[in-house]
Amino acid sequence: MTEPTWKKYLTDYNEGLGVVYERFVLNNYLDRLVTEHNIQPVLEAPLYRLAGVRGINSVQLARRGCEVTLVDCVPERLEGVRRIWDQLHLPARFTLHQDFSHLPFDDGSFDLAWEWAGLWYLPDAEALLQELARVSRSLVLVAMPNNVQVGYLMRKYLIDRDFFGTVDERWVQMGRIKRVLRGIGVQLIEQGVMDVPPWPDTVMPAAEVLKRLGIKSQKLTAQFTGDQWAWSTMAYYLGQQPDLYDRVMKYAWLDRAPIPWQIRAVWAHHRYVLGTVKGSDPS
């Protein structure tokens, strides 16, 4: 039986260019939230739904001085994430909890409660959204894969069709997420796209994409394998590759382009919505 992918990435930090790019773009966005909204305590639940190394989505928040709480339902994974954070010498609270429809925190415990690309894995995603709003005293952030970009469609219809039988695809519909949030009293203050590099989002290494498409080219495959094709956010965080951000973010011209997000949505890998809970002041 094949081991879950997350086990590999608890020790193998080579995530691929696409994941490293995604993290840096997300970090920039989280930086802005911290600066604009004076965020301190933060909850990420669940912690695991970004490809590559698990549990480091909130690292930039901790680097900015936020008090981070991470929730996971798998003991082995949570312990692996704890070890990774220890390696980074960053503090966080790690909570093992099985039921994401009932989070073990008091009302209004956090300035930001957020979730990245995990709703479609949950048996009751709507309940998680309600819980994120309940435990936040200010902001709720939710992001999901963009189901109209070409990589998503390629994955769904060509290279990874079985995957879509394992998720609830209704939760990539941002309109559905916004209706739920509005229905529980969250005021939506921002929406848009992020993670818009010049390559499609297939959620798998480029060499594997070529293989599944039946493209047998040793030259192409060699370009996307081996030591010369190693990309690691952890190497950047640990100071081993201080130039990694500059090397990766040279591809961010679409993310930075001063054009309406609705136009960039044709190619964006993720859509997001940011809201504030009823009665809070997000400034």
Q: Which domain holds residue 122?
A: 5-147+171-199+229-276
Q: Are 59 and 125 in contact (CB under 8 A)?
A: no
Domain-located, residue 211: no
Domain-located, residue 68: yes
Q: Are 39 and 139 in contact (CB under 8 A)?
A: yes
Give the domain CATH number at 115. 3.40.50.150
Mean pLDDT calculated for residue range 73-85: 94
Question: How far is residue 189 CA from its own chain's centroid?
Answer: 20
- Number of domains the chain is built from: 1
pLDDT on residue 218: 57
Per-residue pLDDT tens digits for 226-252: 556 688 999 999 999 999 999 999 999
Per-residue pLDDT tens digits for 113-130: 999 999 999 999 999 999
Domain-located, residue 30: yes
Nearest to 57 by CA among 45, 47, 72: 47
Domain-located, residue 118: yes
Domain-located, residue 115: yes
Assign 3-state DSSP to the chain and report helix, strand, coil percentages, each to 5: 45, 15, 40
Domain-located, residue 244: yes
Per-residue pLDDT tens digits for 36-55: 999 999 999 998 766 789 89
Counts for the chain of helices (H) and strands (E), in that order: 13, 7
User: What is the spatial distance between Cα 245 and Cα 224, in angstroms, rounded to a whole number?
Assistant: 19
Mean pLDDT calculated for residue range 57-73: 97
Domain-located, residue 93: yes
